[in-house]
Structure 1
Amino acid sequence: MKKTVLYLAKAESPLGTILLSSHGEKLNGLWFQGEKYEEIRMKNEGGVEERPDLPVFQETRRWLDLYFQGKDPGFTPPLELSGSDFRQQVGRIMLTIPYGKTMTYGAIAREMARREGKERMSAQAVGGAVGHNPISLIIPCHRVVGTSGSLTGYGGGMPRKVWLLEHEGIDLKASGFTIPKKGTAL
């Protein structure tokens, strides 16, 4: 079996350096430098190579530029979803959350149950899948909130989650959202 090279690039943002990864055609990773999952992406059997000129990275940077200008980019760069079928399905549901809106873990669980023809789905299992989203921002895990209004955790840290939601025009106080005081992804 041929080992695939993982190509990397960087993009600067108001929230710090963003790392991008791809096997060449589609984006398979986007995370803030220093996030806890960064080292996992870097352990690629086929090697790692800097390639900032790849078309998928140029397209992703265009998306990021529009997003950080306060605009809904209106398109999605080509994505390579990874992980289990369950995690990929949760990722597809997160892609449906509109710019400037949120969705609860419970709502995602209900949609998963509906798609799979089941009566129920665990919101906790959905939370695990959301927490392992390898393409943050574009697959908007920052828009997923707790049913009680808690912003819950975010791999990029709670200050970034708050910034991103406010950047998209969400008035956290008026919406009744609360910021947890302790947790694993603050």
Structure 2
Amino acid sequence: MAESAAYRTQTSSPLGPLTITGSAHAVESVGWHLDNVVTTASIRSCALLDECARQLQAYFDGRLTAFDIPVAPTGTAFQQRVWQRLIDVSFGQTLSYGQLAQRLDPPTAPRAVGSAVGRNPISLILPCHRIVGSSGDLTGFAGGLDRKEWLLTHEGSILC
């Protein structure tokens, strides 16, 4: 039986604290503390989660543009397909939900893709913040649109 979410740690970011969970083999979630409250309960880290925290810090510091962390998000087969395609959206680039839908095999409806993107449990590493509305509008992000705007500005996708 696979080891699941046996480890949990937290890291800071310019946008507030993040919680990282996973096993010794793969990250299973990176999530925002929307209330900016950090708890130290249940923190039990491992080398992989510590490396994930280091890479997140390097990303926020502008020293990293691509993560090199094994991931194992939990979701349906369709969600897995969508999340796998998120990895292909490079730092500094954006795609619309429709463009992402066309990249799936077989292509599917943008709304279904939007629903899957919205359930992405591994924020930043599976870069759902790089998916925007068809006209380039910032739409939906579990961390909030202010964080999405900050991330895209940080990556140079939105010029101030």
What TM-score, normalized by structure 1, do the two folds share? 0.76
Q: Residues 22, 150 of structure 1: CA spacing in aligned structure 2 closer, same or farther, 3 A cutoff?
A: same
Give unmatched runs, 5+ long, in structure 2: 36-40
2:125 corresponds to 1:132 = no
Q: Residues 76, 15 of structure 1: CA spacing in aligned structure 2 closer, same or farther, 3 A cutoff?
A: same
Is contact 1:17-1:32 (8 Å) kept? Answer: yes
* Superposed displacement of residue 144, structure 1: 0.3
2:140 corresponds to 1:153 = yes
Q: What corresponds to 2:82 in structure 1?
A: 90
Give 1:27-106 correspondences, 5 Å limit. 27-34=27-34, 49-52=42-45, 54-106=46-98
**Amino acid across the alignment from 2:114:** G
Q: What corresponds to 1:168 in structure 2?
A: 155
* Superposed displacement of residue 51, structure 1: 1.4
| Identical pairs, percent | 37
- 1:128-172 superposed Cα distances (whole Å, 9 cap, x missing partner): 000000000110000000112211111000110000000111235
What TM-score, normalized by structure 2, do the two folds share? 0.88
Alignment partners' CA distance in 2, 1:68 and 1:4: 27
* Superposed displacement of residue 23, structure 1: 2.8
Larger Rg: 1
Give unmatched runs, 5+ long, in structure 1: 36-47, 174-186
* Superposed displacement of residue 6, structure 1: 3.3
* Superposed displacement of residue 71, structure 1: 3.0
* Superposed displacement of residue 5, structure 1: 5.4
Q: Residues 127, 2 of structure 1: CA spacing in aligned structure 2 closer, same or farther, 3 A cutoff?
A: closer
